[in-house]
Each structure stands twice: as C-alpha cells, then as structure tokens.
Amino acid sequence: MIIMALPALGASSYLGGFSGIILTPNDVIVPEGTWDASFHDTTRLLGGSNPDLLTFGLTYGLLPKLEVGASYITDDTHKVVVNGKYRLVTENANTPGITLGVFDVGGSVDFISNDPSLYVLFSKNITSLASNIAEQPSKPLRLGVGFGSGFYNGIMANLDWTLSPRLSLLAEYKGGNQGIERLRNRPSAGFRWAATDSLRLDAAVLGFRDFGFGLSYRSTIK
C-alpha cells in the first residue's frame, strides 16, 4: 500500500462522501484511484437537546476529474446517501474553475432535504486580490461561490485560507430554505490541520450554534 499525500484543501466535508469545506463543497477532486475515508461528529451547543449528527463517508477518485462517494448519516434516523462531483472546467489565470456535483442522489435524508441536492460551484484563487487589498503579501486564499437545489437551493460561498502547508482556516455561508433548520442562512468557520500527509483533522463551529470535529484519511493501493 502506498499512501498518497493529500493535495491542498483535500479532505471530506462534514456530510461525508465528497470533498468540501464544512457543509459546502469545494473544487477539490479525490485523485484517480484514491480512497478517502472520513468521520465527523456534530453536536448542538445552543438550545434544545437534538442528538449528535454523525457521518461516516467514503469517497473514491473514479476518473481524473470525477469523484464518487457514499455517506452514512445518523441523528435519530439512519440513512445512506450517494454523492458525486465532476470538475467541468479547470481554473486558469483569467477564469474560474467550474465544478458540478450532487449530494444525496436519492433525496433520502429527509431532515436535510427531500430532494437530490444538485449544485454548481465557481472557484478561484484570489491570493493576488487579497494581497492588493491588504497592500502586503497574502497567504494562499481560495474562494468558492455556487448555488443549486435541495440542500444547496440558495447561494453558498466559502473561503479556504492556507496559513501553512499543514494548516488552513475555513469559512462558509450556506443560504436557502432547506437543510438543518437551525443552521440555515448562517455562517460557519473552522480549521483543518494535516497531522500527516494522509490524515486531516478538522473542527468547526457550524452556524455558530453547533460544534463539529472529524478526520479524513486518504490512501491508494497500487
């Protein structure tokens, strides 16, 4: 077994089964022939006594620009969902990248959405813009903006700020009228740390109401 190093930003979302920031996707695709296994636990901090949201995910790089995955999601119910993500256009110096994806093909997670969650995401490295605004060099900064249906039926936006080769700060906003009600139309923030070249650890405050943490482990067999 040969362990593959994760590319910058590469780790599972808190929903499992696809690469992402916290709850929103990014433009990272798991490399072809590589597996990414993840676990995340999200617990309510403010108000109510809802059970923890636990997710177990597995994502596979099927083609150079295509990843497919599945996630087991449980709060007081238990669901298995199928996901996919395809990079339609690769970013260049002048134009953003375009990524198409779907979370929960069957629309089975009714406490998130009864419909498949299709989305399109536009992504761009905005480090030079950040440097111009700050009038000093910026650490690498990526922006994603998108929209879709189901869980992603509103505008979403995310930032990934790479402070060092092993540490990134994460921020996102997910709008719309579907999804976990207490987290709708609220920002989330967290960090991701590369414990090794294959293991990512992360923690976040979701909607500034819930606390989540988890890990992603990536490898390939040749």
Report the alpha-carbon distance of residue 74 to residue 183 in Å, rounded: 17
Rounded to 5 degrees, what are φ and ψ at 133? Answer: -65, -45
pLDDT averaged over every residue in the chain: 87
Mean pLDDT of 108-114: 75
Predicted confidence (pLDDT) at residue 8 exceeds the cutoff of 50: no
Confidence grade of residue 25 (pLDDT, cut at 50, 70, 90) = very high
Mean pLDDT of 139-148: 93
Do 218 and 30 contact (CB within 8 A), yes or no? yes
pTM: 0.89
Report the alpha-carbon distance of residue 61 to residue 83 in Å, rounded: 12
Across the strands, what pairs with 212?
42, 204
The pLDDT, as a whole number, for residue 183 is 79
Mean pLDDT of 197-204: 93
Mean pLDDT of 131-152: 88
The pLDDT, as a whole number, for residue 6 is 38
Predicted confidence (pLDDT) at residue 2 exceeds the cutoff of 50: no
Q: What is the 3-state secondary structure (H, E, C) of the chain?
A: CECCCCCCCCCECCCCCCEECCCCECCCCCCECEEEEEEEEEEECCCCCCCCEEEEEEEEEEECCEEEEEEEEECCCEEEEEEEEEEEECCCCCCCEEEEEEECCCCCCCCCCCCCEEEEEEEEECHHHHHHHHCCCCCCEEEEEEEECHHHCCCEEEEEEEEECCEEEEEEEECCCCCCHHHCCEEEEEEEEECCCCEEEEEEEECCCEEEEEEEEEEECC
The pLDDT, as a whole number, for residue 187 is 94
Across the strands, what pairs with 70?
58, 82
Q: Which fold does the domain 34-220 belong to in CATH?
A: Porin (2.40.160)
Rounded to 5 degrees, what are φ and ψ at 153? Answer: -80, 0
Predicted confidence (pLDDT) at residue 44 exceeds the cutoff of 50: yes
Predicted confidence (pLDDT) at residue 70 exceeds the cutoff of 80: yes
Domain coordinates in residue numbering, the chain: 34-220
Mean pLDDT of 46-52: 60
Percentage of the chain exceeding pLDDT 90? 60
